[in-house]
A and B are shown apart, each in its own frame.
Chain A
Amino acid sequence: MTPRILVVDDDASLAEMIGIVLRAEGFEVFECFDGAEAFEVFESCDPHLVLLDVMLPGRSGIQICEDIRQVSNVPIIMLTARSDTADVVAGLEAGADDYVPKPFKPKELVARIRARLRSQNDAGEEQLVLGDLAIDQSRHEVRRGDEVVPLTPLEFDLLVALARAPWRVFTREELLEQVWGYRHAADTRLVNVHVQRLRSKIERDAESPSLVITVRGVGYRAGTGS
């Protein structure tokens, strides 16, 4: 199956260039140049991954991100020209899984896309238990009792990484490598924001988390749920 990728960028040259590179890598690419139309295009092409520019005319990337998250857990990678501002955090908080700062190398972009798509494919067979959560890796599903807790693939991977080694404290860098697929140290804000999002979905009280515990000065570890 050829993975479908939606590229949303108002800069037509860049969108076309990304299309050329990604097609050469064997992806099927859909392009959209206007933020206002992005959601329609998303619904019509039903992509496996969305590349989303933050600054868009019509509707901003952050708003589109929120729109998509209402209906889908599809991986979203933000393309941003301002890696040092609040834009990045806002994008991540709106539900983006990862971001690639402009200007990026084509190989870097492809690596990020593959890392996000891979996580959906190579799930283990194990059944994991974390507190009162049952994690079914083969079905990519998390249940609390009979109730399914909806998680994005990235949040699922993050939870699995922690739950597989509940005795271990993971540094943010280790999680970046294991969950996001970064080889070199990257922006640890990615981890912080997604841990917050994960907690808001699985914790009974996100203010005093019991499943994903912060280890001050080190990173995170799985909790017992009590």
Chain B
Amino acid sequence: MWEFLGGSLSLRIAVTLSLVLTVILLVFIFVATNVLRSDLFSTRRDMILADAAVRFSQVQNTLDQSTAVTTDQVQDAVTQTLTAIRESAAGAGAVEVLLLRSPDSSEAFRINEYVNPEYISVIGGGIRDELAHDVGLWQSVALANGADTIPGIIVGALIDVPYAGPYEMFVVYSLEQEQSTLNSIIQVFTVGSVPVLLLMGLVSFVLVYRLLSPVRAAAGAARSLAAGNLSSRLRVSGRDEMAQLGATFNDMAESLQSKITDYDSLSKLQQSFVSDVSHELRTPMTTIRMADEVIFDDRDALPPASKRSAELLHVEVARFEQMLADLLEISRYDAQSAQFDPESADIYSLVEKVVSANAELADHLGVEVQLGPRPERCSVPVDAIRIERVVRNLLVNACEYSEGMPVRVTVAAGKTSVAIRVRDYGVGMEADTVRRVFDRFYRANPARTRSTGGTGLGLAISKEDVTLHNGVINAWGEPGRGSSFVVTLPRVAGSAVTEFPLIVWEDHA
């Protein structure tokens, strides 16, 4: 229930207020009816006592003036008197009159008791004992009324019956009238409080709901802001706390918007700069490249110094071109303008293709490249050009540093990811190198120098390429034991890698 209400502060407050009000009303009804009850009771009791006193003295007077002498005569007189009294007292709420022989009486002369068996039971022993010593006592009793009981009062007095001595006379009064009055009052209270409660709940809900409307508007605006609608603002009116909230929110949104617009324009500037540099550098690069090819092709016709120069120029132009391409690629990542259009590709075939494309280089370096067996189901959505670039980069690096030892390339498929491992058994890497191997332009210790000059950006780009696929690239190496690089790609484009089908280093298992 509370969880259900958790979503709406207004509803929660309305329910809480209603519950509190219910308790207050219950206490009020309880106290009020109690006060009323005792008030009604004491008023009625006083009336009853006054009425009873009159009845008793009437009976006593009548009996005192009676001329009856025989038992039968006395009996008749008593019966007549009591019957008359019973009828006349009915108007005052009396329901029965009884006359019992006092248990203390020792007179031999006795008359029949005037008794209604229905009521005899309500006259407890207590009042009779006390009556022996006193006059005009009363007691609260419960009178049977069908299945229910109704409150009543009995009043007793000792009556001196001629010749027969003291008899106990009781008048039974019913408080049915008072009880029903009280009941109707309780009923009115209870029935009346239900609409009050409902109204209270409703009113408090509406009030709080309206009070909270700026908060709801703020939440909506914040949501819209988070969704990228930077121009979303709150309408602010008045000067209360809610208006301050709105104004502060608007200030925040304003500064956020201007910051983001700044960054946006900076980023656009950066992108167009990269693009411009790309165009400006590529055209002269093309000319240089073509001139270099022409000179290089004719190098045999040149004198030795010029020929060697032509060869050096050729190698360095190629390197320069690669560096330019790498720089542009990494700036594209920095400008976050790298596009990612994954298409399902068989990773093993992709690796196979890269291995055979680089067979010549491996031969040249005297390195045997061993490609592991084909795993089942190794298709993954990838940008094939990028992943080929990553594999080529790792493979060429491994061949460069393997010192003639074989290079092992393994592809493995897991349930949610596919991994490629390129492992060499050459010079290896220091711990510091392992940590920084993906840094831009990072050069490891002199032991790790290469024959063909790299650009220093290859692994940095590989890491970006893999990250673009939401993949993970890990490296490990130990001096003298070689290096290992593992690329793990998720099977579902965009989901994170949670499973690693290949471990980076055998000791890490």
Which of A's residues lie within 8 Å of B, judged by CB?
9, 11, 13-14, 17-18, 20-21, 24, 55, 81-82, 84-85, 102-107, 185
Which chain A positions have C-beta within 8 A of B283?
Answer: 9, 11, 14, 81, 102
Can you pick out 26 interface pairs between chain A and chain B where the beta carbons lie within 8 Å of each other?
A: A11-B283, A11-B284, A11-B287, A13-B284, A14-B284, A14-B286, A14-B287, A17-B286, A17-B290, A18-B290, A20-B290, A21-B294, A82-B275, A84-B339, A85-B275, A102-B283, A102-B285, A103-B282, A103-B285, A103-B286, A103-B288, A103-B321, A105-B289, A106-B290, A106-B293, A106-B294
Q: A24-B294, A105-B293, A106-B294 are in contact. Are A55 and B279 (CB under 8 A)?
A: yes
Report Cα–Cα, A9/B284, bound state, in Å: 12
In the complex, A131→B289 CA distance in Å? 48
Partner of B332, one of A18, A81, A84, A104: A84
Q: How far is the CA of A219 from the CA of B275 in the complex (A)?
A: 32
Query: With a CB–CB cut-off of 8 A, which chain B residues contact A24?
Result: 294
Complex Cα distance, B294 from A106, in Å, reads 9
Asked whether B278 is an interface residue with its Cβ less than 8 Å from the other chain, the reply is: yes
With CB as the reference atom, state the residue of chain B lying closest to A53: B283
Provide the residues of chain A in CB contact with B291, threshold 8 Å. Answer: 17
B174 to chain A, nearest CB (A): 96
Residue pairs across A and B with CB atoms within 8 Å: the count is 54
Listed residue (B287, B293, B332) with the most chain A CB atoms within 10 angstroms of its CB: B287
Q: Give the residue name and chain of the B residue nearest to A184 (CB).
A: B357
Instruction: Name the contact of B282 in the complex, choosing from A17, A21, A81, A85 (C-beta under 8 A).
Output: A81
Decide if B279 touches A82 in the complex (CB within 8 Å): yes
Question: Chain B interface (Cβ within 8 Å of chain A)?
Answer: 275, 278-279, 282-291, 293-294, 321, 324, 332, 339, 384
Secondary structure at the B interface, as helix, strand, loop or mixed, is helix
- Complex: how many Å from CA A24 to CA B293? 12
Give bound CA distance, A91 to B121, whole Å.
Answer: 117
Are A13 and B339 interface neighbours, CB within 8 A?
Answer: no
**How far does the alpha carbon of A11 sit from the alpha carbon of B290 in the complex, in Å?**
14
Tell me the bound Cα distance from A141 to B79 in angstroms.
143
Whether B290 contacts A81 by the Cβ 8 Å rule is: no
User: How far, in Å, is A74 (CB) from chain B's closest CB?
Assistant: 23
Q: How far is the CB of B272 from chain A (nearest CB, A)?
A: 11
Taking a contact as CB atoms under 8 Å apart, the answer to whether B286 and A104 are in contact is yes
Instruction: Return the chain A residue nearest B279 by Cβ.
Output: A81
- Return chain A residues, CB-CB under 8 Å to B294: 20-21, 24, 106
* Minimal Cβ-Cβ distance residue in B for A188: B343
How far is A103 from B291 in the complex, measured between Cα atoms in Å? 12
Complex CA–CA separation, A200 to B294 (angstroms): 42
B387: shortest Cβ distance to chain A, in Å?
Answer: 13
For A217, the closest partner residue in chain B by CB is: B344
10 more A-B contacts (CB under 8 A) besides A20-B290, A103-B288, A106-B294? A11-B284, A13-B284, A14-B286, A14-B290, A81-B278, A81-B279, A81-B282, A102-B286, A103-B285, A104-B289
| Docked pose: A76 CA to B308 CA in angstroms | 38
Check A17 against B287 for contact (C-beta < 8 Å).
Answer: yes
The closest CB in chain A to the CB of B337 belongs to A84
Q: How far is the CA of A13 from the CA of B384 in the complex (A)?
A: 36
B287 neighbours in A (Cβ, 8 Å)? 11, 13-14, 17
Q: Within 8 Å CB of A81, what residues of B?
A: 278-279, 282-283
CA A102 to CA B287, docked complex, whole Å? 10
Enumerate the 7 nearest inter-chain pairs by beta-carbon distance, A residue then B residue, closest first.
Answer: A81-B279, A102-B282, A103-B286, A81-B282, A103-B285, A14-B287, A102-B286
Shortest beta-carbon distance from B428 to chain A in Å: 34
A106 — which chain B residues lie within 8 A by C-beta?
Answer: 289-290, 293-294
For A107, the closest partner residue in chain B by CB is B293
Nearest chain-B residue to A9 (Cβ)? B283
**C-alpha gap A140/B80 in the complex (Å):** 146
What CA separation (Å) do A185 and B278 show in the bound complex?
23
B391 CB, nearest partner CB in chain A, Å: 15
Give complex CA distance A14, B284 in Å. Answer: 7
Q: Whose C-beta in chain B lies nearest to the C-beta of A11?
A: B283
CA distance A107 to B293 in the complex (A): 9
A9 to B282, CA, bound (A): 13
State the Cβ distance, A101 to closest chain B Cβ, in Å: 8
Kindly state the separation between the CA atoms of A105 and B292 in the bound complex, as whole angstroms.
10
> What A residues does B284 contact at CB under 8 A?
11, 13-14
In whole Å, how far is B141's beta carbon from the nearest beta carbon of chain A? 97
